[in-house]
Structure 1
Amino acid sequence: MFEGINFEDKQFFWLLLLLPVAIVWYVVKHKKQTAELKISSIKGFKVVPSILPKFRHILFVLRLLALAALITAMARPRTVDVITKTKTTRGIDIVMAIDVSASMLAKDLKPNRLVALKKVAAEFIEGRPNDRIGLVIYAGESYTKTPITSDKAIVLRSLEDVEYNTTIEGGTAIGMGLATAVNRLKDSKAESKVVILLTDGVNNTGFIDPKIASELAVEYGIKAYTIGIGSNGMALSPVGLLGNGEFQYARVQVEIDEVLMQEIADATGGKYFRATDNEKLEAIYDEINKLEKTDIEEFKYYNYQEMFRPLVLLAGMLLLLEILLRVTIFRSFV
């Protein structure tokens, strides 16, 4: 009944405690006012059956309902229609550079590194509704999967399509991945530009040196958060193809050029992280999400509609009805 209604002066509801007091008072008073007459026989009296005396208590009930309505009206019930408008005052453009080399199919993260990354990255994208995001993928070479866009549905579909394939050259060209991401962001007008660079290996191919790419990032005011993904020690990784086209797996030493990743992060003002399992990978993206915040200015417009008037009117009608019944139908009984 009161869904969507707020009461501004709830303290008046304490007055409802008067109702049970009034009921007790009425019962006691009624017993005291009831007269008794004892006679030996009523055969000489003409008895006219009537049920009206049994309903005379309705007058008191009407008065109680009127009092309850007035108390509720004093509590100032009203509905609130809130219109919210947001204004982004500091936008962030983000490019996620993802390593898609064969080693990303290693199973030290479940079910493998690439699938685990895609799940966490999708949650990160969904949590950045006010920012523009792009995707770059790289192995031995790199290319833009999705230019920076505010359409998260496009980015999420592109991320879902990211997988290992033999279309691009094998290897790990960290410099190429970073340079392509920088190229996507260099003309951005956003106040903050960020690259999230992820790899599970060492830079072993490509014609752009990672340090040159990081210098370009600095020149364009781009910050790089670098992530090394892979457990410490050995990991079950693809080492070849079987006759049926499936990968052959063996335990391989995990090698990540953490020194290089740390240097890139330090040079650009970012931070280096190491994800050795699914939980740490998720925690890393949560931390980046907290580090890179978009300032949002929110405006709220309130439209109040007071609801006490109908209650006052109801109370008045109940009292009027009680008076009419008292001076007409129940005149002989009260």
Structure 2
Amino acid sequence: MFDLAWPWLLLLAPLPIFLRLLLPASPPADTALLIPFFSRLAALAGRDKQPVYRLHLRLLVPALIWLLLVFAASRPQWLEPLRTLNPDGRNSMLAVDLSASMLTRDVAGSNENRFTITRTLLLQLLDRRPDDRFGLILFASQAFLQSPLTFDHDSLRHWLHTIEPGIAGDNTAIGDAIGLGIKRLRDLPASDKNLILLTDGANNSGIMPPRTAARFAAREGIRIHSLGIGEAGNGNQDGPDLALLQDIAWLTGGYYLHVDSTASLADAIRFFDNLPASNEPARTRWQTRELYHWPLAAALSLALLAGLITLAGSTASRRREQRQ
């Protein structure tokens, strides 16, 4: 679809005409030699009048160049729809635990470690929710932002395939991960503030206590949905602190789920599908291609061609005069 980014600039098209009408004419020369028979001399020299097409070129070429420049300045664009986003699309930050304990293999019915199962769940989530916008927070001894909210699911898949437990330390800073999620979500509409927390341990690192961070999240309207991965622990690094994760979800109005067997993996998919959706209307994402360089190049080429023709005509006239 063709569009102009700044169509109001087209109002400059008649500007040369207004300048011609409003500005005073250039004053005549102070001294001039008046020859009453100048027309005869011009006729004898063959310069009594110019061909009509030359007069047209002298007017049309500058006018065409000006119109092309004005059209280029209005930024013509070609808009291509990428896809229409469903009105139930969500905006969610994913906080993924990368502590060393995520390498433990204790999910009943599976030979994979906790992190591999977590990664599989998130990849399925990206496949099932192509119209959702996700961000990625990684945490262990400390929390850091890997990706802001984005529709680019290919980049998120790349990060999920390349990260490994232990790259951010061996401990678990759940409170700091929640605090970072608050920072990234606080400016979104209330219906869009979802933080999905996936962890297998108890909070034993970081600055902010998890329950305190959850209360701050609740004040900002952020819902934290917590998933405990692996066999339950007893407030240590052996497994998820289920009481803490339940409190975090309850304080923020979110959901809680414990994933400790292959049977609960199906519950995790339904868990994701039941998260609160956005109330925004359906909208279309557009890819914009700028086209201003085409009229700009045409104007420059036309000006260069007119200059070359004028130069060639002047050169030919001087040669004729030298021969005479």
Measured against the shorter chain, the TM-score band is 0.5 to 0.7
**Deviation sequence 1:149-185 (CA, Å, 0-9, x none):** 01111111111122113x4232111101111122221
Question: 1:243 — aligned with what?
Answer: none
Q: Secondary structure at the match of 1:201?
A: coil
In structure 2, give the amino acid aligned to 1:107.
R
Number of matched pairs: 199
Question: 1:288 — aligned with what?
Answer: 272
For the Cα contact (< 8 Å) 1:96–1:136, is it kept in 2?
A: yes
Question: 1:98 — aligned with what?
Answer: 96
Structure 2 counterparts to residues 41-52 of structure 1, below 5 A: none
Percent identity of equivalent pairs: 32
For the Cα contact (< 8 Å) 1:131–1:294, is it kept in 2?
A: no
Distance 1:232 1:298, change over 3 A: closer
Distance 1:262 1:190, change over 3 A: closer
Structure 2 counterparts to residues 309-324 of structure 1, below 5 A: none
For the Cα contact (< 8 Å) 1:132–1:148, is it kept in 2?
A: yes
Distance 1:169 1:191, change over 3 A: same
**Deviation sequence 1:110-151 (CA, Å, 0-9, x none):** 311101110111010121122210111111111011111011
Structure 2 counterparts to residues 233-252 of structure 1, below 5 A: none
In structure 1, give the amino acid aligned to 2:227.
I
Q: Secondary structure at the match of 1:261?
A: helix
- TM-score, normalised to structure 2's length? 0.55
Distance 1:218 1:296, change over 3 A: closer
Offset of residue 105 of structure 1: 0.2
Q: Distance in 2 between matches of 1:266 and 1:94?
A: 18
Structure 2 counterparts to residues 34-113 of structure 1, below 5 A: 86=84, 88-109=86-107, 110-113=111-114
Looking at secondary structure, tell me which structure has more helix per residue. 2
Question: 1:222 — aligned with what?
Answer: 222
Distance 1:191 1:91, change over 3 A: farther
**Deviation sequence 1:214-240 (CA, Å, 0-9, x none):** 122112211111111112589xxxxxx
Q: Secondary structure at the match of 1:267?
A: helix
Q: Secondary structure at the match of 2:141?
A: coil
For the Cα contact (< 8 Å) 1:96–1:197, is it kept in 2?
A: yes
**Deviation sequence 1:69-98 (CA, Å, 0-9, x none):** xxxxxxxxxxxxxxxx84543542101111
Q: Distance in 1 between matches of 2:260 and 2:88?
A: 33
Q: Gaps (5+ residues) in structure 1?
A: 1-84, 235-251, 300-334
In structure 1, give the amino acid aligned to 2:173.
A
Offset of residue 213 of structure 1: 1.1
Structure 2 counterparts to residues 1-334 of structure 1, below 5 A: 86=84, 88-109=86-107, 110-165=111-166, 167-189=167-189, 191-231=191-231, 254-293=238-277
Question: 2:36 — aligned with what?
Answer: none
